[in-house]
Every structure is written in structure tokens, then in C-alpha cells.
Amino acid sequence: MVLSDVFLAPIGIMALAALIPILILYFIQPDPRRVELPTVELLFEDTQQDASRPLFDRIKQNLLLLLQILVVILLAVSIAGPYISVAESQTVSETILVIDGSASMQVNTGDGTRFTAAIAAARETTSSTNSVIFAGSTSSVVLRSGGASEVQTTLAELRPTDAPGNLNAAISRATAIAGENARIAVFSDFAGDRWRQAVQSAQARGVQVSLQQFDRGGANVGITARSFSRSNVTLTIQNFADREVRRTVTLGRSQISLTLTPGGVQRVTLPVPAGGGRAQLTPSDDLSIDDVAYIAAPSDQRVNVLLLSNDPNSYFTTALSVIEEVSLTVAQPPTAVQNNYDVILYSDLESERLLDGNVEAGRDVLANGGGVGVIAQQSPPAAYRDLLLIDPQGTGANPTLDRPQQSELTREIGFTPPETYLTGSLTGGQSLLATTDGTPILATERRANGRVLYYGSVVDNDPFRFNYQYPVFWKRAIFYLAGREPLSTLNQQTGAQLQFENVTAVETPDGESIDGQVISLDQTGFYSVGGSQRGVSLYSSTESAVAVESLDEQSSEIDAQTRERETQVPRPLGWIVVLGGATVIIGEIVLLRRRGDL
């Protein structure tokens, strides 16, 4: 045995050198001179005759020296830092449990799921004070400094999400709230490697970290991505198993069978049925949530558009007619509007030929939740009135455009400055694109249940009509006016959020109603928002790759102490030594008082 096996700072033993001057002073001090006094000699005579313990008397005479020596020894031992080795768990005063609630934790293990196994293990890893952090699409502290009963109740209430997890953020959050002698215990399948940096950062701060992995199960084939083209959806199917598999994909009345090699990826394109549906991958496997893609779509995907114009522009009508979802009708006033339309567009109209009924038809469309679009012309009819979002003041030419406002209509669209445009100030709504002097070129306004759009470039002198993005813009404009969101917007992946201008009621797939401006999409299924649906599915190759390497097999810079095993750590005993030293000092003071030296 060496001193380092007993002391944290063995050099502290050198404090024993303080004994040298004490012993020197003791040996060089003169012996006391004995003086006999006849007046008291008779009082001590019997005592001297009974004295038969000379060794005890010698110790009694030098007791003060022994106490001083003991104090110095205890002081030196305290400075050296005595300790004993104990199990690491015995030094923990607070345990922070990090529970992985990501989609991959729902893998079926035969006797439950990875998540249920993690919860069972977490129940056995507690201390007197506990905190619980749940790692879903976002990390949240679900319990702070709770006792044994509180942590058990909290763990029982946790449920896994259908979303990709952020274990890195959860471990970082645990590190931030960890106090002295705290331990972080992480329960996860440890898919991916983004969590490693957070563990290393915690260890760098001196926080104890233990990792418990749950990686049973692992045969999986899943839908990992989707894209939309017109009214079709393309699904990406990936085989994460180490053997060839066969799968069938069904959506509505369409069905496609495919064979995937180990690690293989295939894409299938299916028509989206009216009202949407479930794209089902069969047979199922250990992870069922990525075997289904929930596809939301309007029950009637057709948008009925009426263009009222006395001089229809061919580029404009072509841009509208190439939109697969649009059923375009072109009419030249004076004509009565007889059918029901989702959108009415006004362009290049002669004032004397525009009927009041044509304008009132637009207001009826707005009242029914549709949209009205007004395209600028040299002399706009006065009959437009409030349907025109600017106060026209003539025309201008070749302006410089300001940067467009961020919106779905202007996203990634490179607008070309118009050759001729209508000048004037905005009378209502919001300007999304304007000239540098503030004249609106593109503006929108919510009107009751409907929407109004103003396009300020005179259509016959609009160089933007030659741009390949011209049909893209008008498709977005028609969908906006009709209140029809594109399929890519109606369908989201788990972990995303729905954002609203005002507090909105949203019904989740399990039937729960949530009110808010920001709604997290943590469940797969259909969400209902104001009568329309949002399809939410898991599209994540990271979560679907459920066959993960064990921590022992992964090459890692993480210290082996983070694995699920008990390690030995020193428990300082200095406080016991200090307490003993204080006791000796008190005894020395008592002795000095009895001798009359104090």
C-alpha cells in the first residue's frame, strides 16, 4: 500500500514536521525545582506513601505534551486528505434522469418496447433528490428536484412521441441544471451520434454521466420521405434490414409491390385520392409508425376559376390553364356570372361593359370563403370600388422594386420590375411587394371569410410573364385566393410546428383539442384545423434506422465510466479528522483549566 491509496494529497503528511519544535521546546525546558514547605508537608505525606504507580504519574505529568502531539498529527492527516473508496452511486446527492422519448424508442422488443424498458430501468436509478428531462422533438424538464414518490409518478405519466428526438439538447439541459454531486443518467437507444458532444461537455464540467442503452429489436422497413407533384405523391421506401424483403404500398385504390435489397431504397408514385388517405406499407415490422404515411388532401381538389376580361392576355391565361388543379373559365362582359366559382379574376375590362352583377359576383365569392384577384390596367373601372386595394393615381414605368415581404406567395420568387404599373397608395390590406417609392405591386387582404389580391403590373407590359416562375406565382396566388393550401403544406413531418396569427383550436389525432398560436406536431395522424386536415407522419431515416450498434462496439472518445457499470470513487474523510482534532483541542483547554494555567 502506498500513501496515495489512503490520502488524496500525501504531501500534506509533511505537516508532521511541526512536531520537531514542540519536542525541542519540551526537552530544553528546565525541570521544575522542588521546594519543601513544612506548613503543608503533613497534607501530602499520606499521598506520597500511597504512590505506587510511577508510570501513570509520568504520563499524567506529560499529558499536555501528548495532546499537543495528537493535535499536530490530526492536522497533518487532515491536510493530506484521507479517503476511502466507495461506489460512485453512494456519492450522488441528486440524480437527473434523461429519458429518450423519440420515435425509435417505440421499437417492439417482443415483451414491450424500448421505451417501457427504459422507464423500468429509470425507476431503479434514483436518489433522494431527482429531476427528469424528457427528450422528444424538444427537451423539457418534467420534474425538478422531486422526491422518490414524485419521480415514480412522473415516469408513469411519460409517453413516447412519434417525432425525431433531440437527445443532445436534453443532455445539455441536464448539465445546465446539475448541481454539486449530481449525476446524469441517460436512457436511450443512442441512434445517431449527436449526443456524444453533450456527454463530453458534461464530463468536462465534472458531472457524472451514466448511459444505459436499449437496442433490442431492429428489423425495419420504413417510409422515410415524401414529395408531391401535382396531385401525386412520391414515397421513399428504405430497407434497414440485412436481408431482402418484399413490401406492398397501398394508397386509396392504388397498390404497388416492390422488392428491396438489404439497405436498398426505392421510390413509388401514387395518385392522391380526393380527401386524402393512408399510404400503408405491409407487412408491418418492429417499428410500425413509419409503415404509414398520412396524406391530407381536399375533398375536391379542383379550383373553379373565372377570368373576366375584355382582352384576355394569352400568357396570363396559359399560366392559369397549366395548373392541373384549376378549371378555368374565361368570360367577356357584358355577361352574367351564373355558376359558383372559387376564384374570380378581373383583368383588362372596359368600364362601360362591366356589369354591376359582375362585381357583385366577386363579393359573393368572398362571402362564401373564396377569393377575388384584380390585375392592374391603364384605367381601372370605378365599379371595382373596395375590391381594388389601392387608390389609383395613374401609371408609372420601369420602377425599381424593393425586397419582397416574406410570405408563401413571394417565397423564392424572383419578380421582374414591370414596364408599366399602376401608381397609387394602399387603401387596405398588406403590401407584399412594392417599388422603392412605396407603390404597391402585390398586396393581399383578408376580407370576412375570403381573400383579395391585387397585382399592380399591367399585364400586357409585364416582363415577368416571360419568366419560368410566372406560372408558379399564379398557382400560389390561385391556391391562396381559394383558401386551398398546396399538398406540401397540408402534409407535415412529426417534429414540425403549426403556426397561426391568432390563437387557434386544433384537434390532435387522438381527439384532444389544443388551443394556441404554435402547435407542436408530435403525433402521427390527421390534425383538424378549422374544418381542414393536416397529415402528419414520421419521415426520418435516422429514427427508422433502429438497428444501432451497442455502446461497447462503437468507437468513441467517451470515457468508459459512462457505460452501465459501477465504478469506485474516493469519499473524503477529512471532516472526521477535523472533528477529532477539535475534540482534542477542547480536551487540552479543559486540562489547562484544571491545572490552573487558564
Mean pLDDT of 452-470: 94
Please indicate whether residue 340 or residue 67 has the higher confidence score (pLDDT): 340
pLDDT at 144 over 60: yes
The pLDDT confidence band at residue 73, using thresholds 50, 70 and 90, is confident
Mean pLDDT of 556-560: 47
pLDDT at 565: 43
The pLDDT confidence band at residue 574, using thresholds 50, 70 and 90, is low
> Do 456 and 388 form a contact (C-beta atoms < 8 A)?
no
Q: How far apart are alpha carbons 126 and 96 in whole angstroms?
A: 8
pLDDT at 578: 72
pLDDT at 152: 94
> Do 277 and 233 form a contact (C-beta atoms < 8 A)?
no
- Determine the residue type at 15: A
pLDDT at 309: 95
pLDDT tens-digit map of 472-526: 999 999 999 998 888 888 999 999 999 887 899 999 999 999 999 999 999 999 9
Please indicate whether residue 341 or residue 408 has the higher confidence score (pLDDT): 341
Name beta bridge partners: 293: 279
Mean pLDDT for all residues in the chain? 85
pLDDT tens-digit map of 265-278: 999 999 999 899 99
Q: How far apart are alpha carbons 105 and 113 in whole angstroms?
A: 7
Cell of 488: 406540401
pLDDT at 33: 64
pLDDT at 564: 43
Collapsed DSSP state (helix, strand, coil) of residue 234: strand
pLDDT at 488: 87
In CATH terms, are 88-216+560-572 and 303-482 the same topology? Answer: yes
**Residue 359: C-alpha distances to residues 304, 363, 381 (Å):** 17, 7, 10
Please indicate whether residue 569 or residue 25 has the higher confidence score (pLDDT): 25
Please indicate whether residue 579 or residue 3 has the higher confidence score (pLDDT): 579
> Do 301 and 263 form a contact (C-beta atoms < 8 A)?
no
Rg (alpha carbons) of the chain, rounded to whole number: 41
Burial class (CB in 10 A: 0-12, 13-18, 19+), 306: buried
Please indicate whether residue 509 or residue 63 has the higher confidence score (pLDDT): 509
pLDDT tens-digit map of 323-370: 888 999 999 999 888 888 999 999 999 999 999 999 999 999 999 999
pLDDT at 44 over 70: no
The candidate with the shortest Cα–Cα distance to 27, out of 15, 19, 39, is 19
The pLDDT confidence band at residue 560, using thresholds 50, 70 and 90, is very low
Q: How far apart are alpha carbons 189 and 554 in whole angstroms?
A: 13
Helices in 264-421 by DSSP H: which ranges? Answer: 314-321, 356-367
pLDDT at 296 over 90: yes
- Does the pTM exceed 0.75? no
The domain 303-482: what is its CATH number? Answer: 3.40.50.880
Please write down the HEC assignment for all residues of 387-421.
HCCEEEEEEEECCCECCCCCCCCCCCCCCCCCCEE
**Residue 201: C-alpha distances to residues 195, 211, 212, 568 (Å):** 10, 14, 18, 22
| Alpha-carbon torsion, ordered 501, 505, 507, 512, to 10 deg | 130
pLDDT at 149 over 80: yes
The domain 88-216+560-572: what is its CATH number? Answer: 3.40.50.410
User: Residue 212: phi, psi to the nearest 5?
Assistant: -120, 120
Mean pLDDT of 575-597: 69
pLDDT at 250: 96
DSSP string, 128-141: SEEEEEEESSSEEE
User: Residue 356: phi, psi to the nearest 5?
Assistant: -60, -35
User: Residue 24: phi, psi to the nearest 5?
Assistant: -60, -45
pLDDT at 559: 46
Name beta bridge partners: 434: 440
Q: How many C-alpha atoms does 597 have within 13 Å on its Cβ side?
A: 7
pLDDT at 561 over 80: no
pLDDT at 562: 47
pLDDT at 204: 87
Range with the poorest average pLDDT among 18-22, 45-49, 432-436, 566-570: 45-49
CATH architecture of 221-299+539-544: Sandwich (2.60)
Domain boundaries, the chain: 3-82+574-595, 88-216+560-572, 221-299+539-544, 303-482
